[in-house]
Amino acid sequence: MKRRIAFNLVALATLGLILNYRPPVASLPPLTVELRNARALPGKTTVIAVDFVMKNNTKEPLLLAERRNSWGAYQWEYEITDATGKKFVLGNPQMVWLANALTFFGIEPDSEFQIPSYLDYVQVSTGDKNLFVDKRNTRIGEVIWDKKAFQEAMRESKSGWKYPVTVVGKFTAKIETWGIPGSIYVKQSNWAGSITTAPITVEAPQAP
């Protein structure tokens, strides 16, 4: 009788464990990234518009270097693989900094920050702050002052990549510090590492 009671108690305890079992929840990394709203622009065979979305999954604000200074300008990168298998790596076109200071942007807890981007095979204008170009064609100065280089760039821009293309975004950062160490005026970024988006496919632009 005692053995049967003991067995029933064990069975009830086991059943209770089964009913109350909850699978462990996978914790998200502090920062996740994603590409959204990608589209090839009509009438521009080598330009893709896409949003680089960064999400803070922590309970504290994330502080990172802004793209408008040389510390943050090269943190974002895109890789395009076209229909022929050819690869293009696109980055910030600015290589010369006449005015430069370390500034930061923040992402609040459980919030997103969006970087609108235009991906272009070749740079013929420095006016768009959201531009990313193939790293072989970052020609500030050369394109502006060299007529031959400008003409070559224009020829290249008519070829570019062949659709459909696969696009992957990458964000790489290190801890950046502004100010005098030990003083109250020090400001520092608080995330370092490298993270890559899932690949997305972009079809050829629709005829206008």
126-167 tens-digit pLDDT = 445 677 876 665 544 444 445 565 566 556 555 678 899 999
Q: Can you say whether the dihedral through the CA atoms of 132, 135, 139, 143 is positive or negative?
A: negative
| Whether 201 contacts 164, CB under 8 Å | yes
Nearest to 177 by CA among 94, 97, 69, 71: 71
Q: How far apart are CA 81 and CA 89, in angstroms?
A: 9
Q: How far apart are CA 192 and CA 52, in angstroms?
A: 18
In angstroms, the Cα distances linking 71 to 95, 120, 169, 174, 189 are 12, 22, 19, 9, 11
Q: Tell me the pLDDT tens digit for each residue of 7-28.
A: 454 555 454 545 554 544 456 7
Average pLDDT over residues 72-96: 90
pLDDT category at 180 given cuts 50, 70, 90 is confident
Q: Tell me the pLDDT tens digit for each residue of 52-73.
A: 999 999 999 999 999 989 999 9
pLDDT at 78: 95
Q: Can you say whether the dihedral through the CA atoms of 150, 126, 119, 173 is positive or negative?
A: positive
Let me know how many helices (H) and strands (E) the chain has, helices first.
3, 13
Burial (CB < 10 A; 0-12, 13-18, 19+), residue 182, is exposed
| Model-wide pTM > 0.85 | no
In angstroms, the Cα distances linking 182 to 3, 28, 53, 77, 95 are 70, 33, 34, 33, 32
Name the more confident of 119 and 198.
198
